[in-house]
Amino acid sequence: MTEAFIYDHVRTPRGKGRPDGALHEITPIQLATQVLEAIRDRNGVDTALFDDVVMGVVSPVGEQGCNIARVAALQARYAQTVSGFQLNRFCASGLEAVNVAGARVRSGEADAIVAGGVESMSRVPIFSDGGACYSDPRTNWDTWYIPQGIGADLIATMDGYSRDDVDAYAVESQARAARAWDGEWFARSIVPVRDILGETVLDRDEHMRPGTTTADLARLKPAFAETGRRDGLDAVMLQRYPQVERIEHVHTGGNSSGIVDGAAAVLVGNAAFGAASSLRPRARIRAAGSLGSEPAIMLTGPAPVSRRVLERAGMTAADIDLFEVNEAFASVVLRYMREMEIPHEKVNVAGGAIAMGHPLGATGAMILGTVVDELERRDLNTALITLCAAAGMAIAMIVERV
Amino acid sequence: MTATITFSADADGIATLSIDIPGRSLNVLTDAFFSDLDAALDRLAQDDALIGAILTSGKPSGFMAGADLEELTARHEQGISASEAAAWVAGKAAAFRRLETCGKPVAAAINGLALGGGLELALACHRRFALDRADVALGLPEVTLGLLPGAGGTQRLPRMIGIEKALPLLIDGTRLKPAEALVLGVVDELAADEAALAAAARAWLLSRPQAVAPWDRKGFRVPGGAGPLAPHAPRSFMAGTSRLKATRGRYPAPHAILSAVYEGTQVPFDTATRIEAKYFGTLLADKVSGNLVRTFLRKAAARKLPRQGREDAAPLAVTRLGVLGAGMMGAGIANVAAGAGIEVALLDRSEDLASRGLDHARKQCEREVKRATMNPEDAERHLARIRPSTDFAALEGCDLIVEAVFESRAVKAQAFAAAAPRLAEGGMLASNTSTLSISGLADHVADPARFIGLHFFSPVERMPLVEVIVGKETSARTVSDALAFVARLKKTPIVVHDSPGFYTSRVFCAYIDEAMAMLAEGVSPALIENAARLAGFPVPPLAVIDEVSLDLQKLVIEQAKADGLERRFLRAEAEPVVEALVALGRLGRKSGGGFYDYAEDGDKRLWPGLADLYPCRAAQPSAEDVGKRLLYIQAVESARCLAEGVIDDQATADLGSILGIGYPAWTGGALSVIATVGAEGFLADCARFARLHGDRFEIDAAILDRSMGVAAE
């Protein structure tokens, strides 16, 4: 059977997702275009060998509307035969794009696809696209829509993670990200973002706060306590989880994923493509899948989907050297490690979205790239990447170094 | 000309349509009204001499009070389908739409109460003028009856004043004063008197305005935006939905209103009213609406209870009331009576204790004055009516003396002995006891025929129910005098026959005892409380026990034993739990902790020690089953009350449970719940619970039939 290989991956640094963020002046189409250009330019590859571009975008409206993937391919002056489409599996979109690319390559429909994602949260904020699940009273009611922060706090409550526990996790994420940047672990894969003058506006993740201590984090107020109480969200959640007396609100801006701008691209292709482009594959996509989970608590899918994908691959958690578990909220990762019975040493070794931010549509592709780099740097073999997503979903992928 | 609408026209071509529904105390939207409206609109549209019309009421009781509730009830009883109900209301909406599009401007001159369909009628007019007078109020209270304003209200109001401002009015059924309505934009102008009202309407019509609604003009946009991308959408629709789900999950109407507004404001007006009619249809066909309407009508009927016995003579007029005991209940009773214009002698053992009662009334008055619901002069007069005293002589000439002292037969007997001689000729004595036998207390007074139970609920000012308890010897005349007194206080009576716990305490104990039984079985306390909320109980059982306190439960159980009551009244499931907590000094909120721990700031958390006393068993029941046990045990107990003759009819149980002890209103009450959930399922569940949890759930078919078949008039 045809294999799908990862030949290369790039990402922009992540800018703060606010008007004062370094990437706020850069349009999302530019972010998408620059990562596509980088894939072509640093590999010297003929884009006519690409079949498609797939990009995850969670708010595909306004500047991010109208199939940014195809339009970015045109803007990047890819060969006009390279088609493109945008997809939305919420926070899992970036990895889903790679998954789709891998599936098309393995099935023989395509030889090479550039897959990734883009999200400028400073210019097109989350919820910009509206949506029945939040705003249609009937749908909101029937599908148990509850904002993700409440779910994260419920996980902490049910599993018994205190405010100290989640803050300690966040401190570690910051420390690891700082160490990774200081050690230039990302150097190979970061594409500095350029302005119209060709000058660099950002070359480093700017959301990070190296040296963050638990005392720093302890000062922050729980982000979801007020809304949980005032908007009845806690009470609704307890209708679904009636054995819980009350939700302890422990998540803050400091132990939840950061709001940032960024883009990423991963070059996926078959062996024939590698030969035609004289590129050496770096990793093989071994297995992938996505799964639905309980929508009210929303964030409990990563372990179940990981178990299913491992089973499909004929593997167990013990066979995986490194894990990337998106740090949507600290409790998500803490629960994952407990459920999968894996040590923190193997998880998010270069830090995660708490420190560096979570550009919604792109993150899945970014953390895949990060773990491929780490497998190479540490001379390890297998990695599992997983992300939770809204409306109760999660995705997982297993890659193996080649 | 017409029976319900009088049509007249003046020299300027201004028609006046004056509504006066014959044979009704209030104007309501009858079929006759709709056909007369149709005819009036024909005339208005076709007569070129007419430039416009003023729509107003010819009845002093109000402008238009809304739909005919009897008609709604009939439809519930027939078992109307959602589609039929949608078609029914669409016809009404079409009539109002005709008014809006008839081509001639119509001014609504709102000279009285405009509620529900009455306000919808005014909204369909091209301009609204309201009389600024105390008896004038405007509102859309359909939600309180489990319905929505189906004649265009959910679509006109948001198009007029924006979705954000319209939603609370629709979802809470808020009643607006004319000035408030003006500020919100529900009415366009106020007038100080009827003459000014007519003049303003006339002046507007003479200015030859266009008879076109804003939403019928090209380029119309809902103020503030509509749909999921409106700036207010996260507040109105997202948070709006979760707030409803959190607090009113068992009531379909508020949620249907939110959907009707969300969906309807995104489409043209006529499509919108179609959507509104369909949502209305789903509500009218729903049992919850039938239950809420029935409860509303029964409450009104109970207030007008026919006077039993002395039809020839007027009931006892209580001009002077004596209250024994200035504690929480006594002070409340005194305050409410003073509010009804009654002079009150408030007695207690010491000056301090007696003045406590007056302080309570003063605090209440201060709050009302601050809220501008009472003016300072009235507050002065109100407080002057309450005279605290330690001397029984102060009771001289009282027509009614109500005792609200400590729950001990001996103490009460003493109080009555001292008070009775002061009673005016023809007066009567009453006890506020919630647990002691009225007949037993009556043994301590000279004239048991003039002795009755008047069981108030706390807080007296807010709780609408009074349980009137008829002792063995209580005369029919005394009952009717008591009912008259309750009516004077503007409260709702239920008549109950003397028996342990009467009706409300007995059924309330079934509720809290079931919760304690579950706790002792190892059911998670958080699950018990959350399941109760899910079932629609406003206060979950463990929390409410802490409010009424555990030592009171212990007292009641001990008294029951001392009185040699039957085993089934000895609260065997609850006793060990009560004993355990009381032994630990955990009496409830008043002692800082019971089932919950209470923090300084009022926050409460379940006491962690419960996990040691009653370890949670591994297999937990579903929230649904826990909720059913809490609902059904009260239904079974109510059915027994009816079978034993403690209560005379289903309405007594329904009203008493809803108004007195927080039984979820969506069910229709502690007996109506059986039909609401379906008798077959109810019986099957009770049988299952009886098997698993105890014979207290046993109910036989005969008792069940009686509970369902015997309804109030």
**Distance between CA A158 and CA A172 in Å, rounded?**
22
What pLDDT shows up at residue B306? 61
Residue B555 is inside which H or E element, if any? helix B550-562
Contacts of A134 in chain B (CB under 8 A): 228, 233-234, 237-238
Residue contact A137–B237, C-beta within 8 A: yes
Q: Which two tokens stand for residue B39?
A: 């005819």
**Distance between CA B536 and CA B497 in Å, rounded?**
29
Q: Which two tokens stand for residue A22?
A: 């370094």
Average pLDDT for B353-379: 92
Average pLDDT for A349-372: 98
Contacts of A149 in chain B (CB under 8 A): none
Average pLDDT for B150-164: 98
**Distance between CA A365 and CA A117 in Å, rounded?**
7
What pLDDT shows up at residue B307? 53
Catalytic one among B360, B382, B455, B497?
A: B455
B531 touches chain A (CB under 8 A): yes
Q: How far is B669 from chain A (nearest CA, A)?
A: 23
Average pLDDT for A24-43: 98
Task: Look at residue B705 and tell me whether its pLDDT is greater than 90.
Answer: no
Tell me, letter by letter, the H, E, C secondary structure of B110-123: ECCCEECHHHHHHH
Q: How far is B596 from chain A (nearest CA, A)?
A: 11
Residue contact A232–B245, C-beta within 8 A: yes
Measured between CB atoms, which of B242, B262, B530 is closest to A232? B242
SS3 B67: strand
Task: Look at residue B508 and tell me whether its pLDDT is greater than 70.
Answer: yes
- Chain B residue with minimal CA distance to A230? B243
Measured between CB atoms, which of B228, B234, B246 is closest to A232? B246
CB A207 within 8 A of CB A173: no
Number of CB atoms found within 10 A of residue B378's CB: 14
Per-residue pLDDT band for A228 (boundaries 50, 70, 90) equals: very high
**Distance between CA A53 and CA A87 in Å, rounded?**
11
Q: What burial letters (b/e) apply to B309-321, b meaning 16+ CB within 10 Å?
A: ebeeeebbebebb
A229 touches chain B (CB under 8 A): no
How far apart, in Å, are the Cα atoms of B402 and each of B330, B349, B548? 8, 15, 21
* Mean pLDDT, rounded, of chain A: 98
- With the C-alpha atoms ordered B531, B532, B537, B539, is the resulting torsion angle positive or negative? negative
Catalytic one among A9, A24, A91, A251?
A: A91
A233 touches chain B (CB under 8 A): yes
CB A28 within 8 A of CB A68: yes
- The pair phi, psi for residue B89, each rounded to 5°, is -75, -30
Task: Look at residue B501 and tell me whether its pLDDT is greater than 90.
Answer: yes
Task: Look at residue B310 and tell me whether its pLDDT is greater than 70.
Answer: no
B539 touches chain A (CB under 8 A): no
SS3 B248: helix
Average pLDDT for A341-366: 98
Q: Which two tokens stand for residue A86?
A: 């945008």
What pLDDT shows up at residue B3? 87
Nearest CA to B187 out of B104, B98, B123, B113 is that of B123
What pLDDT shows up at residue B308? 52
Q: Are strands A112-120 and A200-202 parallel, antiparallel or unpaired?
A: unpaired
**Distance between CA A272 and CA B693 in Å, rounded?**
71
Q: Which of A158-172, B269-283, B423-437, B624-638 has the lowest mean pLDDT?
A: B423-437
Catalytic one among A9, A207, A249, A388?
A: A388
Q: How far is B265 from chain A (nearest CA, A)?
A: 12
Task: Look at residue B713 and tell me whether its pLDDT is greater than 50.
Answer: no
Does A91 qualify as catalytic in the annotation?
yes
Per-residue pLDDT band for B506 (boundaries 50, 70, 90) equals: very high
Q: CA geometry: angle at B132 spanning B130 and B136, to 5°?
A: 75
Contacts of B275 in chain A (CB under 8 A): none
B239 touches chain A (CB under 8 A): yes
In tens, the pLDDT along B524-568 reads 999 999 999 999 999 999 999 999 999 999 999 998 999 899 999
Per-residue pLDDT band for B417 (boundaries 50, 70, 90) equals: very high
The two most distant CA atoms of chain A are separated, in Å, by 62
Nearest CA to A13 out of A348, A258, A314 is that of A258
Contacts of A142 in chain B (CB under 8 A): none
B440 touches chain A (CB under 8 A): no
**Distance between CA A388 and CA A370 in Å, rounded?**
18
**Distance between CA A135 and CA A128 in Å, rounded?**
12
Task: Decide which of A225 and B458 is more confident.
Answer: A225
- Chain B residue with minimal CA distance to A227? B239
A137 touches chain B (CB under 8 A): yes
Probe site for chain A from B171, B232, B238 (most A CB atoms < 10 A) = B238
Contacts of A132 in chain B (CB under 8 A): 228
CB A389 within 8 A of CB A366: no
Does A66 qualify as catalytic in the annotation?
no
Residue contact B247–A232, C-beta within 8 A: yes
Task: Look at residue A219 and tell me whether its pLDDT is greater than 70.
Answer: yes
What pLDDT shows up at residue B311? 57
B242 touches chain A (CB under 8 A): yes
B504-706 CATH, one of 3.40.50.450, 1.10.1040.50, 1.10.287.110, 3.40.50.150: 1.10.1040.50
**Distance between CA A296 and CA B57 in Å, rounded?**
51
Contacts of B259 in chain A (CB under 8 A): 136-138
What pLDDT shows up at residue B712? 39
In tens, the pLDDT along A247-272 reads 999 999 999 999 999 999 999 999 99
Measured between CB atoms, which of A130, A231, A243 is closest to B526? A243
CB A358 within 8 A of CB A333: no
Average pLDDT for B40-60: 97
How far apart, in Å, are the Cα atoms of B337 and each of B346, B477, B487? 11, 21, 11
Nearest CA to B127 out of B177, B171, B191 is that of B191
Domain boundaries, chain B: 5-285, 320-489, 504-706
Contacts of B597 in chain A (CB under 8 A): none
In tens, the pLDDT along A107-141 reads 999 999 999 999 999 999 999 999 999 999 999 99
Average pLDDT for A283-293: 97
Which residues in chain A (145-184) have CB-CB distances under 8 A to chain B? Answer: 145-146
Measured between CB atoms, which of A130, A231, A243 is closest to B242? A231
Average pLDDT for A316-341: 98
Which residues in chain A (306-365) have CB-CB distances under 8 A to chain B? Answer: none
SS3 A96: helix
Residue contact A146–B242, C-beta within 8 A: yes
Whole-prediction pTM: 0.94
- Chain B residue with minimal CA distance to A134? B238
Q: Which two tokens stand for residue A273?
A: 């493509």
Q: Which fold has domain B320-489?
A: Rossmann fold (3.40.50)
Contacts of A239 in chain B (CB under 8 A): 245-246, 249, 530, 533-534, 623
Measured between CB atoms, which of A140, A238, A246 is closest to B238? A140
Task: Look at residue A96 and tell me whether its pLDDT is greater than 60.
Answer: yes
Measured between CB atoms, which of B246, B255, B606 is closest to A137? B255
In tens, the pLDDT along A146-181 reads 999 999 999 999 999 999 999 999 999 999 999 999
What pLDDT shows up at residue B1? 46
Average pLDDT for A63-82: 98
Per-residue pLDDT band for B312 (boundaries 50, 70, 90) equals: low
CB B132 within 8 A of CB B190: yes
Q: Over pLDDT 70: what percentage of chain B?
A: 98
B5-285 CATH, one of 1.10.274.10, 3.20.20.70, 1.10.260.40, 3.90.226.10: 3.90.226.10
Task: Look at residue B305 and tell me whether its pLDDT is greater than 70.
Answer: no
CB A323 within 8 A of CB A342: yes
Q: Over pLDDT 90: what percentage of chain A?
A: 100
SS3 B496: strand
What pLDDT shows up at residue B574? 96
Nearest CA to B519 out of B583, B573, B596 is that of B573
B61 touches chain A (CB under 8 A): no
If you count them, how many residues does chain B have? Answer: 713
Contacts of A244 in chain B (CB under 8 A): 526, 530
**Distance between CA B259 and CA B154 in Å, rounded?**
10
**Distance between CA A299 and CA A151 in Å, rounded?**
7
